[in-house]
Chains A and B, each alone.
Chain A
Amino acid sequence: MNIGVVTFPGSLDDGDARRAVTLAGGEPVALWHGDHDLAGVDAVILPGGFSYGDYLRAGAIARFAPVMEQVIDAAKGGMPVLGICNGFQILCESHLLPGALIRNDHRTFVCRDQVLRVENTETAWTRDFSAGQQITIPLKNGEGGYVASPETIRELEESGRVVFRYVDVNPNGSVNDIAGVTNERGNVVGLMPHPEHAVEDLCGPGTDGLGLFTSVLQRVLA
């Protein structure tokens, strides 16, 4: 099972994302922002970091990278795509996911182990979780406030497309404590916290993040 991980100029967590894929039992494939094809991968991860220095808006320039044309086409065709942190921002800028991420309401960078509730276990990336399961994974962002129009928020809530919700504390001012969302088809998921930093007991708050990477392997096998 080949899972592509795109590296943009300024990506930080591409290495950890590839390692998470390996630990989950998949085969990571390094993709480059300038690539014009996806090397035959079965799924794609857009990792965290500060692509293009977050110039203009976080994710705004990366969205027009050559490789994104293929990623957007593949996502529309049903390929599983996961965006983590900056990857989530890129998916929103690409309009593959609704809404946008703005600067944290308290205006400071946040870095903490964050409890999340998994609210949708039907997506390509969350099948290995149980509904309502609480997981703890690192969160680190300066622009993680999820916003969307009231109509969009209502639609997301009514159709169960809020995948992850912050528990105990809202760390960045996100509407309705939303930490992650999915598209209508459930193949594209974006979240601000970092599951790839919680895949080994040695470092990070545990292995709760592994479930996202094992889920997609099931999906690809099925």
Chain B
Amino acid sequence: MARVIVDVMPKPEILDPQGKAVHGALPRLGFTAVTDVRQGKRFELEVPHVDDESLAEVHRIAETLLSNPVIEDFTVRVDA
């Protein structure tokens, strides 16, 4: 078995209220070095083998279900 990671992030131009809320909480906790926070989602997909075919399928899964291309970008990578 192998693991493929899909990271889904809100597009840079899309407002990310959750990231903003997290960022807003940091100074209250005494953390002052962080200038911005964006919040996304990480999916871990188990596949029998990593090959072109299975990666192509993960790409299709990522673009049809895991992300909404109107508001989100995604990346696919094999877990080392």
Contact = CB atoms under 8 A, between A and B. Distances in A.
Contacts, number: 36
Given A102-B17, A107-B18, 19 more contacts: A57-B68, A60-B65, A64-B65, A92-B70, A100-B71, A102-B15, A102-B71, A103-B18, A104-B17, A105-B15, A105-B17, A107-B17, A145-B15, A147-B14, A147-B15, A147-B70, A147-B71, A149-B70, A173-B15
B42 interface: no
Interface residues on B, range: 10 to 19
A103 B68 contact: no
B21 A100 contact: no
Contacts of A206: none
Interface of A: 56-57, 60, 64, 92-93, 98-100, 102-107, 145, 147-149, 173
Given A105-B17, A107-B21, A145-B15, A100 B68 contact: yes
Q: Is the interface of A mostly helix, strand, loop or mixed?
A: loop
Contacts of A60: 65, 68
